[in-house]
Amino acid sequence: MDRYVLAVDIGTSSLKAALITPEGMLKANARVRFPAGTRTAKHWLHAFVEAWAHILRETGKIPIAAISVSGNGPTLVSINASGEPTGICMWNEPLAPQAAPAETVTPVSSPSIFLPRLASFKTLHRAEFESAERIISGPEFLVYALTGNALTILPDPRYKAAYWTEQDLASAGIDPALLPPFAAQGTIAGTTGAPDARNRAWAGIPLADLIPAGIPVVAGGPDFTVALAGTGTIRAGTACDRAGTSEGLNACTAARITAAGLRTLPAVIPGLWNLSALLPDTGQMFHSWRKESGQAGKSYPELMAAIEASPFSESFSAPNLHSGRALVEKIGFSVRQAMNNLEQAADFRPLYILTGGQARNPVWNRMKADITGRTLAVTTTPDGELMGDAILAYTSLGDFSSIEQATAHMVRVNTVYEPHAERARRYTEKFEHYENLRNS
């Protein structure tokens, strides 16, 4: 009998879900956009139920071996004593200006990415924070809603400093009891239909009546780390380009590397490290150009096809240069420079697995290969987070003995983009001229 994992990823603007087999094949998928404006945790629940219903309509009733959940962070949700979500502090929400600390609180100097968000939550949503019984992150909230069990997903013990320590919390004046205990990424958090979950109609949605009971729910974790598994970026020498509104180049290294302008974090696999270069707005820049040029009604494939067909110019100041081509080339050059920096520090030149919204556009993938002069590839799904969720779930269920084995079996390259020799040569000359002008 066929078996499927329902992989779920909570993004900034939408929730994505897919049924994935142990062979890494997609049976069905859904994407539900959140309403514009202020986000609430209830939007995640409504989107999850809508995605569930869409997939059921497409496939009928089929056996689901597990539900695996990931999401962005550090996004925080407060839960009151009744178990209901109250306030929310999004990962990209501007931090509140911090008031002077009380005499009993020591100013905090910590590598934690959660402490500033917790402090901001406490300032901006004081009533919700003070009445909270729990503070949990986005994917953990959906796990909690499905199982009734609260936890904090820790990708690797080496990440603890990036989350919090008891000393951090004491120095910041935050009650440790607010934060659920750490659980390893890939932990089976519980099952659907458990009593603690059945007793609540979350946001007016009786989840226990809609979702069959007894399905294991896997704690996938942060979208960043699950995407590394889902793209196979778990062996030294592998790399991925995760690009949507923003962009991150990630390379797996055997040793911890420190380099200017690059970030080093623990990798998914113990003992290995992830070196990354961050580009905060490559996708947003194109989206803004699309709107400002009066072409918001045109699809991305249509726009990219017109840009690719427009004449190439050796200079950005050429009068007949398509404005979209000028922007795309400058975005590509910023990616190329980031790749140069990453490869110089890592001391290898990898195949980059593309993932994220930008990876869905084959014209852009082809142009990016030419502009950067790199070989790029797309797997059977551009949603590395969903594949990573499935990899963690099947490993936890015992289908595979390790994440490495699951990734080797499930992550399959589908399309390779090699740079075209002549186009790549012209872009190399233009890039070198562009860099000389920028640095002069």
pLDDT tens by residue, 29-63: 999 999 988 888 999 999 999 999 999 999 998 89
Q: What's the confidence (pLDDT) of residue 70?
A: 98
Whether the predicted pLDDT of 100 surpasses 60: no
**172: CB partners within 8 A, 6+ apart:** 105, 108, 115, 118, 119
Comparing CA positions, the residue from 137, 127, 133, 147 lying closest to residue 82 is 133
Concatenate the DSSP letters of all residues of 106-146 into one string. PPP----SSHHHHHHHHHHTHHHHHT-SEEEEHHHHHHHHH
- The residue-averaged pLDDT of 202-214 equals 78
- The residue-averaged pLDDT of 273-299 equals 95
Angle CA(200)–CA(206)–CA(210) in degrees, nearest 5?
135
For the chain, how many helices (H) and strands (E)?
16, 18
Beta-strand runs (E) in 272-412: 273-279, 352-355, 376-379
Whether the predicted pLDDT of 171 surpasses 60: yes
Contact (Cβ atoms closer than 8 angstroms) between residue 386 and residue 20: yes
**pLDDT-based confidence at residue 320 (cuts at 50, 70, 90):** confident
Q: What are the phi and psi torsion angles at 93 (to 5°)?
A: -75, 135
Q: What's the confidence (pLDDT) of residue 82?
A: 85
Concatenate the DSSP letters of all residues of 155-167 into one string. S-GGGHHHH--HH
The Cα 127–Cα 118 span in angstroms is 14
Comparing CA positions, the residue from 33, 178, 51, 161 lying closest to residue 109 is 161
Comparing CA positions, the residue from 281, 273, 269 lying closest to residue 402 is 269
Q: What's the confidence (pLDDT) of residue 109?
A: 58
**Identical topology for domains 4-224 and 231-375+418-439:** yes
**pLDDT-based confidence at residue 200 (cuts at 50, 70, 90):** low
- Residue-wise pLDDT for 354-398, tens only, equals 999 999 999 999 999 999 999 999 999 999 999 999 999 999 999
The Cα 98–Cα 114 span in angstroms is 15
Task: Round the average pLDDT of the chain to a whole number and report it.
Answer: 92
- Residue-wise pLDDT for 12-32, tens only, equals 889 999 999 999 999 999 999
- Tell me which architecture the domain covering 4-224 has in CATH: 2-Layer Sandwich (3.30)
- The residue-averaged pLDDT of 109-138 equals 91
**399: CB partners within 8 A, 6+ apart:** 22, 406
Whether the predicted pLDDT of 322 surpasses 70: yes
Q: What's the confidence (pLDDT) of residue 107?
A: 45
Whether the predicted pLDDT of 99 surpasses 80: no
Torsion over CA of 214, 380, 250 and 120, rounded to 10 degrees? -40
CA 60, 387, 361, 296 torsion-angle sign: positive
Contact (Cβ atoms closer than 8 angstroms) between residue 341 and residue 373: no
- The residue-averaged pLDDT of 415-419 equals 99
The model's pTM? 0.93
In the chain, what percentage of residues exceed pLDDT 70? 95
Joined together, the tokens standing for residue 9 give 């990823």
Q: What's the confidence (pLDDT) of residue 102?
A: 43
Q: How many CA atoms lie less than 13 Å away from 409 in the CB half-sphere? A: 17
Q: What's the confidence (pLDDT) of residue 34?
A: 93
**pLDDT-based confidence at residue 101 (cuts at 50, 70, 90):** very low
Domain map (residue ranges) of the chain = 4-224, 231-375+418-439
**pLDDT-based confidence at residue 404 (cuts at 50, 70, 90):** very high
Q: Which residues of 320-330 are buried (b: 16+ CB within 10 A; e: fewer)?
A: ebbebbbbbbe
Q: What's the confidence (pLDDT) of residue 229?
A: 98
Comparing CA positions, the residue from 183, 184, 232 lying closest to residue 408 is 232
| The amino acid at 90 | M
Comparing CA positions, the residue from 335, 357, 227 lying closest to residue 287 is 357
**406: CB partners within 8 A, 6+ apart:** 229, 391, 392, 394, 395, 399, 400
Q: What's the confidence (pLDDT) of residue 105?
A: 43
Contact (Cβ atoms closer than 8 angstroms) between residue 411 and residue 383: no
Fold of 231-375+418-439: Nucleotidyltransferase; domain 5 (3.30.420)
**pLDDT-based confidence at residue 154 (cuts at 50, 70, 90):** very high
Cis status, amide bond into 195, omega within 30 of 0 = no
- Residue-wise pLDDT for 330-342, tens only, equals 999 999 999 999 9
Q: What's the confidence (pLDDT) of residue 438?
A: 84
Q: What's the confidence (pLDDT) of residue 103?
A: 38
Largest CA distance in the chain: 68
The Cα 229–Cα 389 span in angstroms is 8
Whether the predicted pLDDT of 120 surpasses 50: yes
